[in-house]
Structure 1
Amino acid sequence: MSSYSEIDPIPYIDHTVLDPTAGSDRIDQACDEADRYGFKSVCIYPCYVARAVERLHKKKPRVCTVIGFPSGGNTAATKLYEAQEAMELGAQELDVVINLSLLKSGQTDAMHREIAQICEATDLPVKAILEMGLLTVPEQQLAAEVCLDAGVAFLKTSTGWAGGATVEQVRLLKAIAGNRVGIKASGGIRSLAQAIALIEAGATRLGTSRGVDIIAEMKAGKGNS
């Protein structure tokens, strides 16, 4: 395990607020925290994209939103519209939940079309959420390959609603993708040690609502060193 001095996880973090009860004040707080601490982005529901875009105008953190969240079971047309609307509102990245039922029933052509349409229509970085905790290892591999072929910019482990990211999952995605796309680990990332382990395994982004806690842990560690 590397020490905090060797890996700084902060620039990897997508500062996430996907609590369905979170109000506009929490979104504003998350945007301000992302700017203050240097997080890569804020990841929020589509209804708050315009607010976050305004709050982060001319600031470094990007605005990311979720599409088809959390089940991925919307129709392809609905997900495409949601993605296009998010783009028009100013979203800079899209975390799109794949249709697990299509994958599990062998309809990978339909799954591919759905993701590829979003990639082509928005021309934004798309992070395909695979929900790996609900898939067998062969299904994880197949989902990753289909999404890579569809043109995604990242493979993402999970929504966090059906299990969190593991080092093993990140290693598998890294082995499949190589350096072709980024790897986003998401769900259950609550500590500095977890963050560093996932980065060492190959994660290039971390989706977590605990970024501020991780910073506090880093500062405490430096103070005790």
Structure 2
Amino acid sequence: MTINTVDLNIAPFIDHSLLNPCAGDELVRQWCAQADRFGFASVCVYPSRVLLARECLQGKTPKVSTVIGFPTGATTSKTKLYEALEAVEQGASELDIVLNLGWVKEQKTKLIYDEIASICDESNVTVKAILETNLLNYDELKLASNIAIDAGVQFLKTCTGWNGGVQLEHVKQLKEIAKGQVAIKASAGIRTHSDAIALIEAGATRLGTSYGVQLLQPDDEPEDPTST
């Protein structure tokens, strides 16, 4: 499907991310208020902030998303599953899960599949597989993506941001690999309106960014001073 990006409202593409480990309650409330005001897809917070975000967004359109096994993906499968189910119990309706990259490098396909499938099956919410695209070659990216799709995820996601930002080429590769079976989330380093448009044109249907408000403004226009 081709998206017409002329005068496109990109707000519904945005996961308004607040993954600064120093962020407190007031910033969570601010992020939720912005998500509601501008019509973002979700607010993405750490698991310990899910309950507050759910309270702030109760009855409103934006969803609450959170990260699992973040940022390394190297915690145990049981730990990830527990973290995921607790987050859902507290109000998360979308889970962004970091794959175990060591297993990807070693081609431990069953371990990767079982870990993701258990979370997809037991959580019964939208699951996004974070692939950390900057650390994988194309064959590894294809392997990890196909396993994640088979395990039941709804999105392939590029990066955590801890190992570099999203690359346009990686989004194109994920679109090619996915073949329309799942959606693509681009994340990390998306800071301008033109960045957002380029990634959407490349195939992204979600954008993970802490610059959600700024992305709404064309690059040559100042940010709305009342936005915060």
| TM-score bracket, shorter-length normalisation | over 0.9
Indicate if the aligned counterparts of 1:4 and 1:218 stay in contact, CA closer than 8 A. no
CA-to-partner distance for each residue in 1:40-79, whole Å, 9 max, x for gaps? 1000000010100010000000000000000000000000
Q: For 2:17, what is the secondary structure of its paired residue?
A: strand
Aligned to 1:131: 132
Q: Distance in 2 between matches of 1:80 and 1:5?
A: 41
5+ residue gaps, structure 1, are none
Deviation at 1:167, TM superposition (A): 1.4
CA drift at 1:10: 1.4
The 3-state SS of whatever aligns with 1:220 is: coil
Per the alignment, do residues 32 and 218 of structure 1 end up closer, same or farther by CA in structure 2, a change over 3 Å counting? farther
Question: Aligned-pair distance for 1:116?
Answer: 0.4
Q: Residue 172 of structure 2 corresponds to which residue in structure 1? A: 171
Superposed, which structure 2 residues align to 1:1-225 within 5 Å? 5-217=6-218, 220=221
CA-to-partner distance for each residue in 1:12-64, whole Å, 9 max, x for gaps?
Answer: 00000000101111100000000001111000000010100010000000000
Shift of 1:4: 6.6
Q: Which has the higher helix share?
A: 1
User: RMSD over aligned Cα, in angstroms?
Assistant: 1.6
Distance 2:142 2:168 in 1: 16
Report how far residue 189 of structure 1 moved.
0.1
Question: Which letter maps to 1:79?
Answer: K
Identity %, equivalent residues: 52
The one-letter amino acid paired with 2:158 is T
Task: Give the whole-Å Cα distance in 2 for the aligned partners of 1:117 and 1:150.
Answer: 8
- Alpha-carbon deviations, 1:69-111, whole Å to 9, x = none? 0000000000000000001001010000000011111211101
Cα distance, 1:218 vs structure 2? 6.5
- Residue identity matched to 1:36: R
Distance (Å, rounded) in 2 between the aligned partners of 1:7 and 1:59: 22
Going from structure 1 to structure 2, the CA distance change for 1:219 and 1:37 (only over 3 Å counts) comes to farther
Aligned residue pair count? 220
TM-score normalised by structure 2 residue count: 0.93
**Higher deviation after alignment, 138-147 or 208-217:** 208-217
Query: 2: CA distance between counterparts of 1:98 and 1:6?
Result: 35
Amino acid corresponding to residue 24 of structure 2 in structure 1: G
